[in-house]
Structure 1
Amino acid sequence: MNEDKRKALQALKTSKGQIEGIIKMIEDDRYCIDISNQIIASQALLKKANMLILRQHINHCVKDAFLNNSGEEKVEEIMGILDKIIVK
């Protein structure tokens, strides 16, 4: 496993723990702003994990595709992901 994937996995595991904590906060009827702040922190970790995975994909899969003259398909995949990230 390369460094980007290792970091993404760690961010996802941390986010999982945060989400479990958020669920408990809601069950315990904690202050809404505190819950919201924890949700924002979890979202930031998910975004970080996604960017690490995308960086790994570009550095390996996309690079290899271009070296083998099939990069256009990979560009379309990346554009589809960027559309989801930017527009939604």
Structure 2
Amino acid sequence: MNEEKKQAVQALKTSKGQIEGIIKMIDDGRYCIDISNQIIAAQSLLKKANMLILKQHLNHCVREAFLNDEGEEKIDEIMKVLTKLIGK
């Protein structure tokens, strides 16, 4: 497993722990703003993990596709993901 994937897995594991903590906060009737702040922190980790996975994809899969003159499909894939990320 390369470095980007290792970092992504770590971010996902951390966010999993945060989400479990958020559920407990809700069950315990904690203050809504505190819960919201924890949700934002978990979202940030999920975004970080996604960016690491996309970086790995660009550095390996897309690069290899261009070396084999098969890059157009990879560009379309990336554009679809970017469209989802920016919400357009």
Does structure 1 residue 55 correspond to structure 2 residue 63? no
Instruction: Read off the aligned partner of 1:4 and give its amino acid letter.
Output: E
Does structure 1 residue 20 correspond to structure 2 residue 4? no
3-state SS in 1 of match to 2:51:
helix
Number of aligned pairs?
A: 88
In structure 1, the partner of 2:65 is 65
Instruction: Read off the aligned partner of 2:46 and give its amino acid letter.
Output: L
Superposed CA RMSD: 0.7
Identity within the alignment, %: 76
Give the CA deviation at 1:87: 1.4
Structure 2 unmatched runs, 5+: none
3-state SS in 2 of match to 1:30:
coil
3-state SS in 2 of match to 1:8:
helix
**TM-score normalised over the length of structure 1:** 0.99
In structure 1, the partner of 2:76 is 76
Separation in 2 of the partners of 1:86 and 1:26? Answer: 29
Does structure 1 residue 39 correspond to structure 2 residue 61? no
Separation in 2 of the partners of 1:11 and 1:34? Answer: 21
Instruction: Read off the aligned partner of 2:48 and give its amino acid letter.
Output: K
Instruction: Read off the aligned partner of 1:24 and give its amino acid letter.
Output: K
Instruction: Read off the aligned partner of 1:36 and give its amino acid letter.
Output: S
